[in-house]
A and B are shown apart, each in its own frame.
Chain A
Amino acid sequence: MLVRAVPGRRSRHVGEGCAGRAGGAVMPAVLVDVSEMATALAGRLGRGEMSGSGEVATATAGLLRRIVAHGRWSSAGELLELIRTESRRVIAADPSETTVGNIIRRVMKIVREEYSRLRGCGEEGDQDSLHKLLTSGGQSEDLSETLAPLRTNVIEAVNELLLELDGMQDNISVQALDHIHSNEVIMTLGRSAAVEAFLRDAARKRSFQVIVAEGAPYCQGHDLATSLSAAGIETTVITDAAIFAVMSRVNKVIIGTKTILANGGLRAVIGAHTLALAARHHSTPLIVCAAMYKLCPQFPNEENTVHKFVSPQEVLPFTEGEILGKVSAYCPVFDYVPPELITLFISNIGGNAPSYIYRLMSELYNPDDHQL
């Protein structure tokens, strides 16, 4: 990364942005209107062009890096305000895609940390705590000081975040051998990229069987089954209705999720709650493979939780004309799984219990950013 300091000039005027990834050329410093970039990302999200949370996370982090590098801001406070305004547009495009909000909060925490470090305030957590309430002498930190190296420091930190996002899948998969043993029967639901990589990694050294519940109405379980059998794993596909019947033969249930909520619960693909209840009934451990950027500071009963519905065409096709007028058909996309039903979360930082989620959240996000 090359940084050319322009002597005597502050970052408010034309400054030099730093280079992109390792080995890249120096990016020309142009302070553009970043709202076009945000609108472009919002468009892609709205049209559903991005497949999988990993891609969304990388795209959001890339957008934020460009906002930091080229946006018009001079102090940490202004940068946070700019990020907040642009992010609202992106989130509004698809509110159920919580990964966008999570990456934004992560970057905002990075900005605050870099700011404190530059001011030499130390890295104590800025969460509210009893200790802080008793010992702090003044009001909360004010973010309006202009610090010249802030731009480059933040860009460097966001690059680190992008590298981390790249390696997330691998960090999860390497833990597979600790959890999957020979001749075990694993059950999963639908198709999760994290679970697929997890199982494929374990299959290199162990032989086990997988039972995949198809996950109607889109039946992505079929694709997962094809992919797993191509990797040499013995796979069986079952309908969702057969989950309870087959559960007695299963050793472990491993699923992915869309979001991990603040109380340790999940917002996962529809059918996950049924699967979790069946597992609890048979005392089968339920393991969730999810990267840390899926951790969201929302609680499940809050008034602004989002539910997504898709066309019930798969459930009740339009050909059934006479019934359609008399019947309401709903096709929800997500399901809530309460934390009591989950045994373990496997993420890029290792295995954690659901009761520990509050701690991970306090390390990743600042409480002031929970409401964007």
Chain B
Amino acid sequence: PLWLSGDGLVERPGPSADGSPRPAMDELELVDYFKTQMRENEDVASAVAAIRTLLEFLKRDKGETIQGLRENLKAAIKILSSVDSSVAVSSGGELFLRFISLTSLEHPDYSICKKTMIDRGELYLERISASRNKIANLCHAFISDGSKILTHSSSRVVLRVLEKAARAKKRFSVFITESQPDSSGLKSAESLKKLNIPVTVILDASVGYIMEKVDLLLVGAEGVVESGGIINKIGTYQMAVCAKSHNKPFYVVAESFKFVRLYPLNQQDVPDRFKYTAEILKSAKNLAEEHPTVDYTPPSFITLLFTDLGVLTPSAVSDELIKLYL
């Protein structure tokens, strides 16, 4: 195919029409691909979109060595984090890097290695797209008839769990916080209403007031840290402390690609790059004046975590991470 460029018509390799590989992704293409993934499928987790983008990057990478590939990937992950600064993108990226290292250990020859990586990458993406269903299957058994559930902000995994429980003909009602500053709870409430689940939106400040009425709490997570605690939308920690003092079970649902190698000891330990959105990080003069969008909930407040690796107690999370990274 012929392209118009500065010095007239030039021949440029087209998209796999003749089987030849496409050029490596540059920064703009990378960001564009990522944004397209997120836009086309509203339902997909940001970590999955990041992993898919990185896999495409890998397919089109022109390097000849593993070292070069890793360097390029690290740069790509940095670029993606500057677009979407959430923990999930970072954990997805780190998982992908780990995946590269593990595969490269098995095949010293680069071309076989690359082919194996691409095959396994596709397989992994297929598997994790089924992870939400797996979690929903595990979790809905813990919702009993007539229970009142309190949830926070909008989480697509929690939505899937509640959908599954509703289809299993269980009768339950949901309280959901509106979750400022972006009112994301309202969006979730709409989806729940469409499923004919009785839902009440409450103020973030009325969590304490409502706690005596609820039977269990169910939240998603943006990241699950090594200690078994979670990083989630601001307001989750408050809810967990309140639940503990009322002796209500606090359940977390999260896919396995959200496990991240962080060990915060308190709220200040969570790195700034996760606490604020990408735009604020770039433009703010003094971060101390900005409101963080996530907080950290320590493992002592969490009863159980439902993941696609099974039902885990918080102490089992670090075991899973060790199995992967060591």
Binding site for B on A (CB under 8 A): 127-131, 133-135, 137, 262-264, 299, 301-304, 355-359, 367
- Whether A133 lies near B127 (C-beta < 8 A) is yes
Residues of B within 8 A of A357 (CB): 313
How long is the Cα–Cα vector from A263 to B310 in the complex, in angstroms? 12
B278 interface residue per 8 A CB criterion: no
Residues of A within 8 A of B123 (CB): 137
Residues of A within 8 A of B99 (CB): 134-135
Q: How many residue pairs between the two chains, A and B, have CB atoms under 8 Å in the bound complex? A: 69
Which of the listed residues A133, A356, A357 has the most CB atoms from chain B within 10 Å of its own CB? A133
Residues of A within 8 A of B324 (CB): 129-131, 134
- Whether B141 lies near A303 (C-beta < 8 A) is yes
Residues of B within 8 A of A262 (CB): 311
- Whether B120 lies near A304 (C-beta < 8 A) is no
- Whether B323 lies near A301 (C-beta < 8 A) is no
A358: nearest chain-B partner, CB-CB: B316
Name A130's contact: one of B119, B216, B304, B321 (CB within 8 Å). Answer: B321
B116: nearest chain-A partner, CB-CB: A137
Q: By DSSP majority rule, is chain B's interface helix, strand, loop, or mixed? A: helix
Name A263's contact: one of B141, B304, B319 (CB within 8 Å). Answer: B304
B95 interface residue per 8 A CB criterion: yes
The verdict on A133 contacting B256 (CB below 8 Å), with A355-B313, A367-B310 known, is: yes
B314: nearest chain-A partner, CB-CB: A355
Binding site for A on B (CB under 8 A): 95, 98-99, 102-103, 116, 119-120, 123-124, 127-128, 141-142, 144, 216, 249, 256, 259, 303-304, 308-313, 315-316, 319-321, 323-324
- Whether B313 lies near A263 (C-beta < 8 A) is yes
How long is the Cα–Cα vector from A264 to B303 in the complex, in angstroms? 11
- Whether B316 lies near A129 (C-beta < 8 A) is no
How long is the Cα–Cα vector from A357 to B311 in the complex, in angstroms? 13
How long is the Cα–Cα vector from A133 to B304 in the complex, in angstroms? 22
- Whether A301 lies near B144 (C-beta < 8 A) is yes
The verdict on A304 contacting B141 (CB below 8 Å), with A133-B127, A134-B98 known, is: yes
Give chain B nearest CB distance to A155 CB in angstroms.
30
Give chain A nearest CB distance to B324 CB in angstroms.
4
- Whether B319 lies near A130 (C-beta < 8 A) is no
B105: nearest chain-A partner, CB-CB: A135
Residues of B within 8 A of A301 (CB): 142, 144, 216, 249
- Whether B144 lies near A303 (C-beta < 8 A) is yes
